[in-house]
Amino acid sequence: MNSVNAGGRLDRLPISAFHRRVFTLVAIGMFFDGFDIYIAGTVLGTTLKTGFSTMAQNAQFVSSTFLGMMIGSFVTGFLGDRFGRRFTYQANLALFGLASIAAAFAPNMEVLIALRFLMGVGLGAENVVGYSTLTEFVPAKQRGRWLGFMAVVVVTGLPVAVLISTVMIPAFGWRSMFVLGGIGALVVWWIRKALPESPRWLESVGRLNEADLLLRRIEAESPGELAKPRPPSPPPSRALSTLLAPPLLGRMILGSIALIVINTLIYGFITWLPTFFVKQGLSIATSFNFVLIMSLGAPVGSAIGALTADRWGRKRTLVVSSLIAILFGLIYPFVKDAVLLPIVGLALTVPIYVLVALLFGIYIPELFPTAVRLRASGICNTFGRGATIVTPFIVVNLFTDYGVLGVVTLMVGLMALLVVTVLAFGIEPSGRSLEDVAAE
């Protein structure tokens, strides 16, 4: 047996109970990933207000998260291509869950920052493996929608984190948020033992009998008569050097710049909103209410990305969403009215999260062959997370010197860079098999 044609056999399948089961197993872990990322904003606003932390320590907390996520993204890319998606997925979730529970008992901010680094390692790994795993299971024609809805699940962690924070933090303190995230992650770790390995990965490392057996089980769950699969594609090289030569080099440049931009948008603006509002004189309660309204743009924007990615195409959706975000980004700093401020903020948040769904969930994992997918995605995520290690310090300085206007100006400039990069290096994978995209 020289090939089991995993890609062709998976792409011919209709959506079945198997796909819904895999989606659920991946999604519940990704939800807690999103939940924990976004509790940083509400927790830091409270620790600052109560004197447990300073602005400088808050910046260190966020920066240590990115440092951990950068290392987690890089290491996971190599581990995932070497040992498989399933093993790597479970290891990072266990690390995150245990570190999160420990964080709830941190005696001071220095210990909390150190534990946050370990949590960041797990968070960085989850993001790389989760989307890539689902990418390798879902048929080509539905891939954009299903991956987009995975992003909806992840970003739903934002309004859920804010909503729960408004109840839990006043009643039980900020430590309770880490307890919730940690226990949830460990429960998911146990449930997700049922997650199967990727047949595409099994084939790429020569474990053909295992891949064929798994594919037969998947096919047995598919209703109706199956269409004939397309012919198998020649196996791509597993050498890391392929990422430094055309055509993958251009895709690496695109992926790295795109993830630098979107990470900075989220962690240089969205997660800092509670702190911005508190420093501008609003109470914690009012700050949380404003952020809750704006956070509704996260699932809405991601859902728009999911529904339009296959219909409009990845490139067009990325460019149009960036331009809309630039428009509202230019308006936002000049809005002072208490009613209009969260509304304009919501209008800004929606297109930002269209970009989140497209870049994190759909586009980046599609760009690379199965044999090097996690390594390539991991390296792109490493640049994205690495660049944002310095973002908190830049944001603090910009906000101190120029207020929200200075922060938003940086964000608008980065979105303009994203538009140029997508137009220069972007390809269109909508409706195409991963193997065809890899061979382009």
Give the CATH number, domain containing residue 331.
Answer: 1.20.1250.20
Q: How many helices (H) and strands (E) does the chain have?
A: 21, 0
CB atoms under 10 Å from CB of 250, counted, come to 16
Domain assignment of residue 47, yes or no: yes
Q: Tell me how far apart the alpha carbons of residues 82 and 76 are, in angstroms, rounded to a whole number.
A: 10
Query: What value does the mean pLDDT take over residues 167-190?
Result: 91
For the record, the structure tokens of 291 come out as 């952020």
Q: Would residue 253 count as lying in a domain?
A: yes
Whether residue 277 has pLDDT greater than 90: no
Q: Give 335's DSSP letter.
A: -
Given this model, what pLDDT does residue 304 score?
95
pLDDT at 355: 95
Block residue for tokens 């770790």: 189
Counting every residue, how long is the chain?
440
Q: What is the C-alpha separation between 344 and 321, in angstroms, rounded? A: 15
pLDDT bracket for residue 276 (50, 70, 90): confident
In a domain, 417, yes or no: yes
Predicted confidence (pLDDT) at residue 261 exceeds the cutoff of 70:
yes
- Output the six-digit token pair for 68: 């951990």
Q: Average pLDDT in the 404-431 region?
A: 93
Q: What residue numbers bound the domain in which 79 lies?
A: 7-220+242-439
426 Cα distance to chain centroid: 19
Cα separation of 125 and 133, whole Å?
A: 12
pLDDT over threshold 90, residue 213: yes
CB atoms within 10 A of CB 225: 5
Instruction: Judge if pTM exceeds 0.75.
Output: yes
| C-beta of residue 367 within 8 angstroms of C-beta of residue 254 | yes
DSSP 358: I
What's the whole-number mean pLDDT along residues 372-379? 92
CA distances from 112 to 42, 47, 105, 266, 385 (A): 15, 11, 8, 21, 20
Average pLDDT over residues 345-369: 92
> In which residue are the tokens 């995975």 written?
150
Q: Is residue 126 part of a domain?
A: yes
Q: For residues 285 and 124, is the Cβ–Cβ distance under 8 A?
A: no
HSE of 279 in the Cβ direction (CA atoms, 13 Å)? 15
Q: Has residue 436 got a pLDDT over 80?
A: yes
The whole-number pLDDT of residue 278 equals 67
**Residues in CB range of 145: below 8 A, 6 or more apart:** 306, 307, 309, 310
Q: What is the pLDDT of residue 177?
A: 92
156 falls in which pLDDT band (50, 70, 90)?
A: confident
Q: Does 51 reside within a domain?
A: yes
- Whether residue 267 contacts residue 388, with contact meaning beta carbons closer than 8 Å, is answered with yes
Q: Which is nearest to 147 in space by CA: 356, 384, 415?
A: 356
Distance CA 427, CA 42 (A): 38
* Structural domain count, the chain: 1
Token pair, residue 413, equals 């400039």
Of 12-21, 102-111, 331-340, 408-417, minimum mean pLDDT range: 331-340
Q: Give the count of beta carbons closer than 10 Å to the beta carbon of residue 244.
A: 10
Q: Is 226 within the bounds of a domain?
A: no
271 vs 351, residue with greater confidence: 351
Q: Which of 95-109, 147-161, 239-253 has the highest mean pLDDT?
A: 95-109
Q: Count of CB atoms within 10 A of residue 231's CB?
A: 9
pLDDT, mean over the chain: 87
**Residue 186 — pLDDT band, cuts 50, 70, 90?**
very high
pLDDT at 378: 92
- Percentage of the chain exceeding pLDDT 90: 47
Residue 231 belongs to some domain of the structure: no
Instruction: Output the CA torsion sign for 93, 185, 97, 290.
Output: positive
In terms of Cβ atoms closer than 10 Å to its own Cβ (0-12, 13-18, 19+), residue 238 is: middle
Give the E-state strand segments of 183-312 in sequence order.
none
49 or 42, higher pLDDT: 49
Q: What sign results for the dihedral spanned by CA atoms 140, 143, 144, 145?
A: positive
Is residue 225 one of the residues assigned to a domain? Answer: no
Residue 229 has a pLDDT of: 81
